[in-house]
Amino acid sequence: MKHFIAVAVVVMILTALVGLGLSNAGLFPELASLQGKFIDELFQMQFWVIAFLFALIVGFMLYTIIVFRRREGDESDADHIEGNNALEVTWTVIPLITVIGVAVFGANTLAKVTAIDPQALEVKVIGQQWSWRFEYPETGVVSDVLLLPQGQQALLVMESTDVLHSFWVPEFRVKQDLMPGSTTEVRITPTELGDYTVRCAEVCGLQHTYMLADVRVVPEEEFDTWLANEAVVADDPVDRGQKVYEQYGCQACHTLDGSELVGPTFLGAYGRQVEFEDGTTALADEAYLYESVVDPNARIVKGFPPNVMPQNYADQITDEQINDLIEFMKSLSDN
Ligand code: CUA
């Protein structure tokens, strides 16, 4: 009997040490969503179950190894024990109850994490190799940053234009795959203001690692103002084109004031006569500008280096966005 009491003490101490160690090991990033709270509670419960089972097995084992070791001069055999029904029933029933308990806790957590708020803000999330796009269907706003109001449930309706991707903001905990040909959903209620990053959690090709986008949780009034401003932009193709120009990094090489960087300026680019490296010329009309975006090496403007502009804009920018960009360029031209 005294051995059982001793082992029980060892197991309790070991459980406390392992449980506290796991809980305080900093295994999680900051928590920033209501759904994440339930997931963390589930994890905490599992940490303690894991700690107890670990202590039960390792505590018993260590105690036995040390206390019942063979003493010097002891040549006798150990007792031969032929089964123990009570023990076997116990170590079957207790784990069974534990596993059922974890399953119930898990199902409960799933129900809370997927709970529907009818007032949820719907946002369409489009994943494509290798960028994210966010659409706010009520206003038609399209953004490369996911802005969410604090404290309001967001219903993210997800689609992929090509392969499998996975939407994951570690601070929100929940994770959801995007599938080509069907839509998936995830609900997030951001609780903490701040800047986060959505990363793709499904290997989706060469640039998978860089498939990131900014997520900003802002106060509700700031969100409403932002959405209203963006909605105005969304109505005007020139404004939309200017956003494309800023969002896709065009300004790194193409100025708007006539000065030359690595690429030709956009000022007056539309409608002028362009001369190419091979001596031919062409009118910079819509078709030419479109080609310059999707296949920049097809014709290189005289005096500019080839192979500088990324070749993959056709995968990143939609045709509508290119048309908006051309409208923006037209607005910079007298022709
Ligand atoms: Cu998309 Cu990885």
Ligand 1 atom index nearest CA of 164:
1
CA of 188 to the centre of ligand 1 (A): 20
Angle at 97 between CA 91 and CA 99, to 5 degrees: 100
**pLDDT tens digit sequence for 12-35:** 999 999 999 988 888 889 999 999
- Which residues are CB-contacts of 48 (< 8 A; sequence separation ≥ 6)? 15, 19
- Which residues are CB-contacts of 114 (< 8 A; sequence separation ≥ 6)? 187
Per-residue pLDDT at 335 = 59
| Helix or strand run (H / E) with residue 105 | helix 85-113
CA of 145 to the centre of ligand 1 (A): 17
The residue nearest atom 1 of ligand 1, judged by CA position, is 165
The percent of residues in the chain predicted with pLDDT above 70, rounded, is 100
Specify the pTM: 0.67
Cα 45 from chain centroid?
Answer: 25
Residue 170 pLDDT grade (very low, low, confident, very high; cuts 50, 70, 90): very high
**pLDDT tens digit sequence for 255-273:** 999 888 888 999 988 988 9
CA of 138 to the centre of ligand 1 (A): 27
Ligand 1 atom index nearest CA of 211:
1
Residue whose pair of structure tokens reads 């700690």 in the numeric block: 51
Percentages helix, strand, coil for the chain (3-state, rounded to 5) are 45, 20, 35
**3-state class of 248 per DSSP?**
coil
Please say if the pLDDT value at position 309 is more than 90: no
Which amino acids bring their CB within 6 angstroms of ligand 1?
A: 127, 130, 165, 200, 202-204, 208, 211
What average pLDDT score do residues 278-294 get?
90
